[in-house]
Structure 1
Amino acid sequence: HGEDKPSAKLMSKTAIAFAHTGLLFLMARTVGGPIVKEIKPAALIGWVDTTFRSIRRRGKPAYVFASKTETLHEKLALRLPESQFEKKDKLKMAVADTGENGVFAKGELEAITSLRQMELITPEEIARAVELEIQGINTGKDVITAVDSSIMGPTYRGGYLRGQAIEDLNRLEQEVGIPSVALGELGPPELSKLLWEAYLLKENYGTLAKVLELDGDERKENKGKTSRANRPPEELSASLQQYLLDHPDVRDLITSTGGAILLPDGQTLLRGPFMRIPEVAASGTVQIREGDVDQWARKGWVDLRPQNMTGWQDRFRHMIRENQRVRGKGSAALDREVYLFDQIFIGEVVGWVFNNEMGGYRIK
């Protein structure tokens, strides 16, 4: 490239090339994405043509100028106006055109393709490898497959020790009396919202079934008020609101980490000094338009409205149904739709939501 070592231009090109590979790798592991392959030549690709031609620089013809003698002093001008030099003729030379890699004179081509330098690969060889990969014939040259086979994935040891870390956090949580739910720094804004909503349901009801149905004593107490065994979503909303009123430490923890709590009336918001949702970079104030509150509540607010409680009941109903489906069956039945617990484990519940409602799950 003609720069000093290390070459800033070459380093930039390499960084972009492998950033591109990283994006393709993520695409290849994206649910519903295409089959992705990448062939990455690591030699000079050449050549398209050899010819004698006029040379162009930045789209304009280059010229031969008569040289001038200059005595060296303290300063040296790297560029002088072309008008100070005698223009002779257009610059012409026998060159090899290598396409996007540029045009090389014979000496440059000899040097860059000599043994142990960049050497040379022909476009036809690259095209053949691409053609074979498209046909499903393994060439061993697909970079995405190479990366995929060499990265380290989840391990048995990691899964085993995960339980120890969670157990330690449970113990610390009980000792200090402060719930360890979410800081708002990880993942999409929905993560904190869903974790806190699941936490409130866990603290008030404990199990999936109790969120859905009244127990025997509750049915007697509600006799005459409702004939259904189903727990009304309005009751869930009221219970969660009352819990937050009775536990200001929990309420303030949510709002101090950038969360907001939309109360059951849909008009009242509990908030702290800053809010992560709505996400507005340029301004500290936004106009509330029709539909904005619903959008923000879905995106990141702890939503105590009855319609959101109905959504949680639908989720739990699905989880229970899938749990019952796999009883007595083998491992093949344990797919991503299965929630294996009767209790509400908030992280597992939100993982289930990501897997089944947001399409954000590992495919390998």
Structure 2
Amino acid sequence: MSLQTINDFSIQKTEKSKIDSIDFENVKFGTVFSDHMLVCHYKDGAWGQVEIKPYGPMQFEPSSNVFHYGQAIFEGMKAYKDDNDDVWLFRPRENWERFNKSAERLAMPQIDETRFVDGLKTLLQLDRDWVQKGKGNALYIRPFMIGTHPGVVAGPSSEFMFCIILSPARTYYSGKVKVQIAEHYSRAANGGVGYTKCSGNYAGQFYPTKLAQEAGYQQVIWTDDATHTKLEEAGTMNVFFRINDTLITAPTSERILDGVTRKSLLDIAKSKGLDVQVKSIVVNDLLEAIKKGELKEIFGAGTAVTIGQIEGFAYQDEYHQLPEIADEDSYAVMLKETLQGIQTKAIEDTFNWTEKI
């Protein structure tokens, strides 16, 4: 393996790429990873050198903090390739800033822009062939940080590892999904870590999601922890509701993630002259709207799926089917095609969101 240093980044290239063994047309989301990864360690109060090396297993002490006290955060991003074979990132500094907000809340060290953004760009240059062209294709990017200090004393770690891995991705959901509105379980609570992308947020929602799936639904629409009436998120995504021609989504809070896709869709919707309202919406509002025939669409929004359309929802053992809407009349379809067009450079990026690698 060759070893060289570029811009203070240590780069160790794999001897043989595994890319030729990958069926990109049938890859399952999050199961296949590119040739290289980025690793950087924090020790004695400072971040060390960025290492880019072949993707592979790691060794950790069994007493490492992450295994016992869950100091772990992550981000979700994507890289896209246009028709000219140029590779683009979408608003990477938004993810970097949110990563550091998560780190602060979990008593973890901030990571600088050079290690996060420039390190990612260097990694993508090395694995740029893993970014596939074509509609629906992208390279999913997973930056994460974990506490690595050994010991089972209940307290924050003093040592950490920052890492970025890459995974080729196609469409996350195929078709629309049915959801169940939560009446008992909560994804997040006031004063908690719901607004962060910490690993425990996701582990805690696996069980109620499993119960919903056993009842015949693919996902859960989460409600607030205090009253279970405010509609807040869908699965691991922000959620939007279209009542007549008004697009509504809940405001961000300590319970709701400040999604990069969410804020991008809001800006696109406003630019197209849609009536957009960021406000709390409660279950009774939804039930009243569907009773009157005013509820047109519900969809989730997040990096992995971009937009996931919802065909109906269950509440208190009663299922409510949403009306069929033609693609040309759907806000979800229009917003998804516009956002993905910007990300892949098929549509002009008037917002200056994209960055070339």
Fold shared per TM-score above 0.5: no
User: Of the two structures, which has the highest relative contact order with CA contacts closer than 8 Å and spacing of 6 or more?
Assistant: 2
- The structure with the greater share of residues assigned to helix is 1
Specify the structure having the higher radius of gyration (Cα): 1
- Alignment TM-score, normalising by the size of structure 1: 0.21
